[in-house]
Amino acid sequence: MKTEIITVNPDNINPVYIKTAAEKIKDGGLVAFPTETVYGLGADAFNPKAVAKIFEAKKRPFEDPLIVHIAQKEDLYKLTEDISDSALKLADEFWPGPLTLVLKKSKNIPDIITAGLDTVAIRVPADKVALAFIKFSETPIAAPSANLFGRPSPTTAQHVLDDLNEKIDIVIDGGRALIGVESTILDLTQNPPVVLRPGGVSIEKLKKVVKGVEIYKQDKILSPGMYPRHYSPKAKVMLVEGNGNVQVKKIKNLACRFNLQELSVGILAKEENIDKYNGFKVKSIGQGNDLAVCASNLFSVLREFDKEGVDTIIAEGVKEEELGLAIMNRLRKAAGE
Ligand code: TXA
Ligand code: MG
């Protein structure tokens, strides 16, 4: 199958182009589209045959459930039966935006979306192109990230094509994803609510709206789709935590050791430390204090190292607050914990 690329200017959306993509959804096709977090691979959520194609294209295991994307809060009522006050409060506060809510599902949702669970994950994305695309499709859109299963999520249309060219019908190119890490997933069917995946909305912000939010711990509950190794480039990833010169020294020692074994090494460093790695192949993730920039660079830099054929990526950690929690979560998973 040939993958059609439809380029859309987010500041001046041409409805004709979006309608072409929406028609493909109505026909049971697969369309990759930009969101503010990462690119998604969409299909009509009420068409189980179309949704099955997502799993096939991504090589994703069927036990990993999908997020359903809607264009407005009111569409929640098509997907879930009991909507609590805190769900509505969170939706008012954070939608459209990078927050996914896990709620009790209504019976009409196909099992293939929820991996047979009695809950469903839902979000309203903030990206204007995504919203127009969902509206014109006139159906909720089931969409995981538009990468091959286990690979770093795509933040550009080119990343989508690198993984899925000729496996999907259309990719809508709406430019670079602003945030660069996936949505925060909050399970509201647990009491207290549990963050299953840190992401674009920080836990600090969630706690201001809903009391007692807890962070998912590996040993406590197991959510489907929470694989220890994920978001991985082809290169092996090592994460070196800590700070300042101790961290730099440790990384240089490791890099030298790998170089002696004739392995090529890429160092992913904070902007302020770049100069300390003279003579090594090094890329910047952004200033350590600017976590938004670090998040938006993370996946694309991992993919760049892959394109350059690096064997091992040694990454500096960032501080674990706000968006830094999501960044460190992705880095740990890329490293296989
Ligand atoms: O930002 C995002 O969330 C992006 C964009 C495209 O919206 N999507 C995304 O989807 O990251 P995906 O498929 O890569 O991750 C979805 C994860 C699943 O792996 C699973 O862990 C969780 O959402 N999930 C989905 N449904 C769930 C459910 N009913 N209960 C618990 N976890 C669920
Ligand atoms: Mg994913």
pLDDT band at 55; cut points 50, 70, 90: very high
Same-domain status, 244 and 321 = yes
Q: Are residues 57 and 115 in the same domain?
A: yes
Mean pLDDT of the chain: 95
Q: What pLDDT does 224 receive?
A: 61
The contacts found for 86-90 with CB under 8 angstroms, 24 or more apart, are 86/188, 86/193, 86/209, 86/210, 87/188, 89/209, 89/210, 90/186, 90/188, 90/206, 90/209, 90/210
Instruction: For residue 182, give its domain range.
Output: 4-215
Confidence class for position 324, pLDDT limits 50, 70, 90:
very high
Is residue 225 very low, low, confident or very high in pLDDT (cuts 50, 70, 90)? low
Q: Same domain, yes or no, for 101 and 135?
A: yes
pLDDT digits (tens, 9 = 90+) for 8-42: 999 999 999 999 999 999 999 999 999 999 999 99
**If you measure from the C-alpha of residue 54 to the centroid of ligand 2, how many angstroms do you get, rounded to a whole number?**
12
* pLDDT exceeds cutoff 80 at 271: yes
Residue 119 CB less than 6 A away from ligand 1: yes
Q: What mean pLDDT is predicted for residues 71-84?
A: 93
Tell me, yes or no, whether 241 and 167 share the same domain. no
Which residue in this structure is represented by tokens 């929690």?
325
Q: Which ligand is nearest to the CA of 177?
A: 1
Looking at the fold, whether 242 and 210 belong to one and the same domain comes out as: no
Per residue in 88-139, pLDDT tens? 999 999 999 999 999 999 999 999 999 999 999 999 999 999 999 999 999 9
Atom of ligand 1 nearest to the CA of 146: 6
Least confident of 166-175, 219-228, 319-328: 219-228
Query: Is there an atom of ligand 1 within 6 Å of 144 CB?
Result: yes
Residue 220 is predicted with a pLDDT of 45
229 domain-assigned: no
Residue identifier of the C-alpha nearest atom 15 of ligand 1? 144
Residues 182 and 244 placed together within one structural domain of the fold: no
Residue with the larger pLDDT of the pair 198 and 336: 198
- Residue 179 CB–ligand 1 contact under 6 Å: no
| Least distant ligand from the CA of 104 | 1
Q: Which atom of ligand 1 is nearest to the CA of 41?
A: 6
Ligand 1 site, residue 66, Cβ cutoff 6 A = yes
Q: Which CATH number belongs to the domain containing residue 83 in this structure?
A: 3.90.870.10
Q: Is the pLDDT of residue 218 over 80?
A: no
Domain count for the chain: 2
Domain contains 220: no
**For position 221, what pLDDT does the model report?**
46
Q: What percent of the chain has pLDDT over 70?
A: 97
Residues 6+ apart with CB under 8 A from 304: 283
268-285: average pLDDT: 97
Ligand 1 in contact with 96 (CB < 6 A)? no
223 occurs within a structural domain? no
pLDDT beyond 60 at 219: no
Tell me: do 103 and 199 sit in the same domain: yes
Q: Is 291 part of any domain?
A: yes
| pLDDT for res 223 | 61
Closest ligand (CA of 232): 2
Q: How far is the CA of 144 from the centre of ligand 1 (A)?
A: 6
54 belongs to a structural domain: yes
| The pLDDT of residue 163 | 98
> 221: CA distance to ligand 2 center in Å?
20
From the CB of 178, is ligand 1 less than 6 Å away?
Answer: no
Q: Is residue 38 part of a domain?
A: yes
Q: Is 189 in the pocket of ligand 1 (CB under 6 A)?
A: no
> At 276, which CATH number?
3.40.50.11030
Q: Do 210 and 243 share a structural domain?
A: no
How far, in Å, is the centroid of ligand 1 from the Cα of 315? 25
Q: Please indicate whether residue 97, judged by its CB atom, sits closer than 6 Å to ligand 1.
A: no
Q: Measured from the CA of 199, which atom of ligand 1 is nearest?
A: 1
